[in-house]
């Protein structure tokens, strides 16, 4: 007997609205990445959602204001959850929007088979105003078995809160030095499939850009970073900052303004590498590198031996892969064709994208993107690779 079952079998597995033992993965080369198929799929979606919530705040240029949790008291069944979502929650959201609420919401289930919603509020309200808005818009407690709410102000540092909202995988170190690799693992319950509900949604104009667009921009950013990682001068510049300026030993909370308009977040080697790699084509950064090379800075000596092999070998290796060749063609056709490149002062060519993508062919970002495209647009990957090597 499962620990969630009572003696009168109220919580028999067929009555639960969540999975007791969800599969970790589907064993396919093209992993399904949804909130209900697998545990890995949930973690994948949660990671993307967390990134979008944090990025949305940057794009808007405004902090989130309130964190609201609404717990509904009635025990759900497979039929009840679908009816509740369509008849009650959808109506609640319309009423909240009319009251001027702008927010993101996500639905969760508890081990007792009850549901609750977390909301990230963007609109400006006092706590009393927000309290009254929910009292006015949510259904009478007697009609739906009762509910209660909790309203908390969101701190400026909301990184951990955004992971909590989505139950994304997050590793932390406790004050005692203990490392917890997945702090929300035991809170991550996965709904059963085909319940007829959405995992998350928004009220009003919460998103600066659609989630899909934010993720596309993130993938392109990761591509640019990976390409910059193969630039020998950028890597020598990384060594100069990390070892020559910072000294290789750093305090995680120490910040400096060396060569940057704002302080580095955390001066780790990986963080510096990503920051510099993303700006590998920035004129100011190129000028600093050229000045250091002119001064015969020791960190740039032997750059070809240290890092010269990074780019060409990986590009050649990537162009031997069928999926990469077709994916390059897809990116060029839908994103870069007819787009002007200010660095080269000409329009992007297919060869430009080939170099960038083939260099980054081992990236999990590309693997995930290609897997999803194969599911959504299988006809595109039925093309012959030889037809995708040239821009006709």
pLDDT in tens, 329-344: 998 888 888 888 887 7
Of 77 and 5, which is predicted with more confidence? 77
Tokens describing residue 354: 């080939």
pLDDT at site 365: 81
83: left (phi over 0), alpha (psi -120 to 50) or beta: alpha
Per-residue confidence band for 267, with pLDDT thresholds at 50, 70 and 90: low
Kindly report the pTM of this predicted structure.
0.71
The Cα 231–Cα 211 span in angstroms is 31
Query: What pLDDT digit, counting tens, does each position of 218-241 carry?
Result: 888 887 887 788 788 898 998 888
pLDDT for position 341: 82
Domain boundaries, the chain: 13-206, 215-308, 311-388
Q: Which of 213, 221, 235 is nearest to 307 (CA)?
A: 235
Q: State the pLDDT at residue 250.
A: 43
Q: What is the pLDDT of residues 84-102, one digit of tens each?
A: 998 899 999 999 999 999 9
Write down the pLDDT at residue 272. 86
Q: What is the mean pLDDT of residues 165-184?
A: 90
Higher pLDDT, 262 or 16: 16
Q: Any residues with CB less than 8 A from the CB of 4 and at least 6 apart, and which? A: 11, 16, 20, 111, 112, 113
Q: What is the mean pLDDT of residues 276-290?
A: 90
Residue 197: name the closest of 78, 308, 92, 292 by CA.
78
Q: What is the mean pLDDT of the chain?
A: 84
Q: Is the pLDDT of residue 11 over 70?
A: no
- Highest mean pLDDT range out of 77-86, 91-100, 252-261, 315-324? 91-100
pLDDT of res. 245:
76
d(CA 319, CA 354): 8
Tell me which of 69 and 268 has the higher pLDDT.
69
Confidence check: pLDDT of 190 > 50: yes
> Residue 8: which pLDDT band, with cuts at 50, 70 and 90?
very low
Give the right CATH number for 13-206 from 1.20.1440.230, 1.20.1260.10, 3.30.70.1910, 3.40.50.10950: 3.30.70.1910
Q: Check residue 183 and give its pLDDT.
A: 93
User: pLDDT-derived band of residue 29, with 50, 70 and 90 as boundaries?
Assistant: low
**At residue 42, does pLDDT exceed 60?**
yes
More confident residue, 106 or 258: 106
Helix, strand and coil content of the chain, in percent to the nearest 5, comes to: 45, 10, 40
Question: What is the predicted pLDDT for the residue at 256?
Answer: 43
Quick: pLDDT tens for 118-135.
Answer: 999 999 999 999 999 999
Sorting pLDDT into bands at 50, 70 and 90, what band is 313? Answer: low
- The average pLDDT across 52-80 equals 95
- Cα–Cα dist 247/263, whole Å: 16
Residue 191 has pLDDT above 60, yes or no: yes
């Amino acid at each position: 007997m499962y620990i969630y079952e009572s003696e009168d079998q109220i919580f028999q597995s067929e009555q639960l609205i969540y999975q007791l033992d969800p599969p970790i993965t589907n064993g396919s080369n093209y992993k399904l990445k949804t909130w209900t198929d697998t545990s890995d799929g949930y973690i994948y979606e949660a990671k993307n959602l967390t990134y979008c919530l944090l990025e949305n705040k940057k794009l808007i240029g405004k902090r989130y204001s309130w964190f609201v949790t609404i717990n509904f008291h009635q025990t759900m069944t497979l039929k009840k959850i679908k009816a509740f979502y369509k008849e009650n929650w959808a109506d609640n959201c319309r009423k909240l929007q009319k009251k001027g609420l702008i927010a993101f919401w996500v639905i969760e289930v508890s081990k007792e088979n009850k549901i609750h919603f977390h909301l990230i509020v963007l609109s400006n309200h006092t706590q009393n105003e927000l309290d009254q808005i929910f009292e006015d818009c949510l259904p009478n407690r007697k009609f739906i078995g009762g509910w209660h709410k909790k309203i908390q102000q969101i701190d400026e540092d909301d990184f951990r809160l955004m992971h909590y909202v989505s139950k994304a995988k997050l590793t932390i170190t406790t004050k005692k030095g203990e490392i917890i690799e997945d702090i929300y693992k035991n809170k991550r319950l996965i709904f059963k499939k085909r319940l007829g509900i959405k995992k998350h949604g928004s009220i009003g104009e919460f998103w600066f850009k659609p989630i899909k667009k934010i993720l596309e921009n993130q993938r392109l950013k990761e591509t640019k970073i990976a390409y910059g990682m193969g630039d020998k001068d950028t890597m020598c510049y990384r060594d100069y900052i990390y070892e020559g300026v910072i000294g290789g030993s750093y305090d995680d909370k120490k910040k400096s303004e060396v060569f940057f308009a704002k302080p580095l977040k955390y001066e780790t080697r990986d963080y510096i590498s990503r920051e510099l790699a993303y700006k590998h084509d920035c004129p100011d950064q190129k000028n600093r590198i050229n000045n250091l090379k002119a001064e015969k800075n020791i960190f740039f000596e032997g750059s070809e031996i240290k890092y010269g092999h990074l780019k060409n070998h990986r590009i050649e290796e990537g162009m031997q892969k069928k999926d990469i060749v077709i994916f390059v063609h897809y990116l060029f056709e839908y994103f870069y064709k007819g787009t002007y490149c200010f660095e080269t002062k000409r329009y992007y060519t297919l060869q430009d994208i080939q170099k960038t993508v083939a260099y980054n062919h081992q990236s999990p970002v590309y693997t995930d993107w290609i897997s999803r495209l194969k599911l959504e647009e299988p006809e595109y990957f039925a093309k012959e690779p030889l037809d995708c090597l040239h821009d006709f």
